Amino acid sequence: MTDVQTLVKTLDFQLDIQSDNESLLYDATLESRWAYNETIRLAKEGVDWDEIPDRVAANADLVKNTTQRVVAKALGAMENYHEYDDFGLPSHTKDGAYPLRANYEEGYNLTVRDDGTIEFRISTRPYKHVKGVLEGDDAHIDILRAALASDEWTIGTTEALFHDETPELHVNVTNTERTVRDKQDSRTVIGVDVNEDNVALSALSADGVEDTLVIDFPEIKFERHRYFTMRKRVQNAEKPSIHDTLEGREARFVRDRLHKVSRHIVEWSQQFEKSCIVFEDLKEMRDSIDYGTRMNRRLHHLPFRALQHYTSYKAAFEGIPTAWINPEYTSQRCPMCGHTERANRHKKRFKCRDCGHQDHSDRGASVNIAVKGSKKLDWNVPALNSLPQVRKVRRQASGAVDAPTVTSDTARGHHSDGIRGVSD
């Protein structure tokens, strides 16, 4: 039987707080820590758990709803301590600031402004509020806007906290009308390799690689370089207002293209039986980038995180699960024989020095990602004796997709049928 899960997401935002109220929020997180630790203390003293919420609320300088949510979190943790028989350990209490927990429309409110931005209001203490605007990933902003505008969504508890001294808001949203299939029930793994100017896809099933596709989007790289050049010019001319305008235009252009590419990825994945989309977990990649000023700028502008987020939440709306794998050696490993060598790639050409296999380098990486994803799902990975020829499409400025073509850097093997037409 398929294990169906309700679509639940935690959306992370940074808080642009009005005036000088950031200290008010920080003080409230310290008071939240006191409420948490006081709950633990009373529980250890043997106080009846039904009495603890009122006793803590009577002395906490927080709104009652927030105190109740913090107490519930602490008591839930105490239940786990009982299970593992470490009830007496002092580490159960918290140090530093502790997240301020609240229910929607009781401890916090959200409103979409006319310009599309989302305004927040958090009750930090009785009759004291912190207001401002949410900032963060465009995909999360889009989901929250949809949740605020639709009855299909339920906006739940939130946590206001400080991460690296930056105030954040983590909002839980649930969609009871849409379900995401359990990834363990998948029959096809879609390996997704995101690059500077394209995304490569490979669909792997128990029979081998079913199909493969490379979606080119060179205009993102071109436009980012063009806007970078224009910003440098206006910066030298000391015109900061124009500089900010150009940054906004660039961001809107890139966001629009990535939304269209992510939609194409999900639509392509839907043609396969019970697909699961697999990405590389590249969140630590930027910390290790050091290839000189020009190359660093290009690599730091890679759109992989945004494209992964857009694809992930669009897939969830279609009931398609997503998974993440360690990216180690996905670009260097030969998908046919498994040989790994760092010097066997040149631009878009991959050649294995062990077995002689030649391939489109990005397609080969997407196959390796699919193989790693299937192992994560505990599959028996099929032997890859042949791979489909590499087919490429290019996104046009209008958002439509050019007819697919077969590239010259193909693998030995059969030719797949052409993809069905896709347009935005």
44-97 confidence digits (pLDDT tens): 888 999 999 999 999 999 999 899 999 999 998 887 665 444 545 544 678 888
Residue 357 or residue 302, greater confidence: 357
Q: What's the pLDDT tens digit per position in 401-419?
A: 555 555 544 443 433 333 3
15-29, 76-90, 282-296, 348-362: least confident range = 282-296
Rounded alpha-carbon distances, angstroms, from residue 148 to 10, 16, 156: 15, 20, 12
**Beta-strand runs (E) in 228-336:** 275-280, 322-325
pLDDT band per the 50, 70, 90 thresholds, residue 282: confident
14-18, 155-159, 245-249: least confident range = 245-249
pLDDT band per the 50, 70, 90 thresholds, residue 155: very high
pTM exceeds cut of 0.75:
no
Mean pLDDT value across the chain: 81
Which of 362, 342, 289 lies closest to 352, judged by CA?
A: 342
d(CA 331, CA 371): 13
Whole-number CA gyration radius for the chain: 25
Cα maximum dimension of the chain: 74
pLDDT of 293:
53
Helix (H) or strand (E) holding 173: strand 166-181
Sheet of 345-346: strands edge to edge? 345-346, 349-351, 358-360
pLDDT band per the 50, 70, 90 thresholds, residue 422: very low
76-80, 179-183, 302-306, 387-391: least confident range = 302-306
Average pLDDT over residues 214-236: 73
pLDDT band per the 50, 70, 90 thresholds, residue 242: low
Q: What's the pLDDT tens digit per position in 320-339?
A: 999 999 988 898 899 998 88
Tokens of 231: 């910003």
Looking at the chain, the whole-number percentage of residues with pLDDT higher than 70 is 77
pLDDT of 420:
34
Domain ranges in the chain are: 4-179, 182-406
Residue 414 in contact with residue 386, Cβ under 8 Å?
yes
d(CA 148, CA 154): 9
